[in-house]
């Protein structure tokens, strides 16, 4: 528990800033909905005339005039990109920062096994992701209530659940990469998130690139699919969680025998 507490304390500023930023943007976006709803026809026409982008963002299958459609497109991008970047940064820095900041020597010359270090750091990453998602969901639900809309709880929970799993997958994959690094990997983490996001856009646009949906966690976060099916895509999530598990196993294996610089 000592390492978990220490990690949470060390990351508290970044946690507060990221969580507050995502929650704030989400709230602002929800507050804009009544205004957007009043201009449904104009906005709908605009979104429908964006060519490939309409399909890329799933706007061809969603009605922007409904709260769920609006939430899936507008809020989904904030949740998706913001959450993905934060989770990737958390994962990629967890182990690598010790060598980058030259604190690995301090930590690993205490009687703590490397397995324990990996376990507690991973637990700290997961705790922060869970806390961020809860702290984002609550103001989102409250704001929907405040603007006088009925809360589509099932759809919202499914979408937030999917984004939570996306963050989990990216954090675990980046955590695995982190064990191989001896310098900071912020660029790698952000690059992985951005690559996953754009792979999904490409897969949405081109029929021949549909297979990319199996590689990117953004695929199982498609609001259009979630709302239409009323459920999450179990098979894509299973593939995503397999990547996450591979990341975690790689972290344990690599860190156990790693030479600390």
Report how far apart, in Å, the C-alpha atoms of 12 and of each of 29, 84, 120 are.
25, 18, 16
CA distance 137 to 131: 10
Q: Candidates 47-55, 100-108, 171-179, 191-199 — which segment interacts with other proteins by CB under 8 A? A: 100-108
User: Within 39-70, where are the H helices?
Assistant: 40-48, 52-56, 67-70
The footprint of other proteins on residues 7-26 (CB under 8 A) is 10
Beta carbons of 14 and 137 less than 8 angstroms apart: no
Using a 10 angstrom Cβ sphere, with 0-12 exposed, 13-18 middle and 19 or more buried, the burial of residue 41 is exposed
Of 41, 49, 51, 109, the one binding other proteins by CB under 8 A: 109
Tell me how many residues contact other proteins (CB under 8 A).
20
Query: Is residue 186 at the binding interface for other proteins, with CB under 8 A as the rule?
Result: no
Of 49, 110, 150, 187, the one binding other proteins by CB under 8 A: 110
Identify the three-state secondary structure at position 112.
coil
Closest CA to 87 of 166, 20, 6, 202: 166
The two tokens of residue 130 are 């869970």
Instruction: Select 112 or 134, whichever has its Cβ closest to other proteins.
Output: 112
Instruction: Select 113 or 231, whichever has its Cβ closest to other proteins.
Output: 113
Query: Is residue 113 at the binding interface for other proteins, with CB under 8 A as the rule?
Result: yes
Query: Is residue 2 at the binding interface for other proteins, with CB under 8 A as the rule?
Result: yes
Q: Percent helix, strand and coil across the chain, each rounded to 5?
A: 80, 0, 20
| Nearest-approach distance from CB 107 to other proteins, in angstroms | 7
Query: Is residue 230 at the binding interface for other proteins, with CB under 8 A as the rule?
Result: no
Q: Candidates 21-29, 96-104, 132-140, 205-213 — which segment interacts with other proteins by CB under 8 A? A: 96-104
Query: Is residue 118 at the binding interface for other proteins, with CB under 8 A as the rule?
Result: no
Q: Under the rule (CB under 8 A), what is the footprint of other proteins?
A: 2-3, 6, 10, 101-113, 257, 259-260
């Amino acid at each position: 528990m000592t390492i978990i507490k220490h990690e949470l304390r060390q990351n508290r500023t970044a946690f507060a800033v990221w969580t507050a930023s995502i929650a704030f943007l989400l709230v602002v976006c929800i507050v804009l909905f009544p205004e957007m709803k009043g201009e449904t026809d104009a906005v709908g026409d605009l979104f429908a005339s964006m060519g490939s982008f309409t399909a890329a963002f799933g706007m061809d299958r969603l009605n922007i005039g409904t709260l769920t459609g609006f939430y899936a497109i507008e809020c989904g991008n904030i949740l998706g990109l913001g959450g993905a970047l934060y989770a990737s940064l958390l994962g990629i820095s967890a182990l690598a920062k010790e060598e980058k900041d030259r604190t690995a020597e301090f930590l690993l010359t205490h009687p703590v096994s490397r397995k324990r270090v990996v376990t507690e750091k991973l637990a700290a990453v997961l705790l922060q992701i869970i806390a961020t998602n809860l702290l984002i969901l609550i103001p989102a639900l409250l704001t929907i209530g405040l603007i006088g809309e009925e809360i589509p709880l099932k759809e919202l929970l499914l979408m937030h659940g999917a984004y939570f799993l996306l963050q989990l997958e990216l954090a675990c994959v980046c955590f695995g990469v982190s064990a191989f690094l001896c310098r900071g990997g912020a660029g790698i983490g952000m690059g992985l998130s951005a690559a996953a996001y754009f792979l999904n856009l490409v897969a949405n646009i081109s029929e021949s690139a549909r297979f990319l949906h199996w590689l990117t966690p953004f695929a199982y976060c498609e609001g259009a699919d979630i709302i239409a099916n009323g459920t999450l895509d179990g098979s894509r999530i299973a593939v995503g969680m397999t990547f996450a598990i591979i990341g975690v196993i790689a972290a344990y294996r690599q860190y156990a025998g790693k030479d600390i610089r």
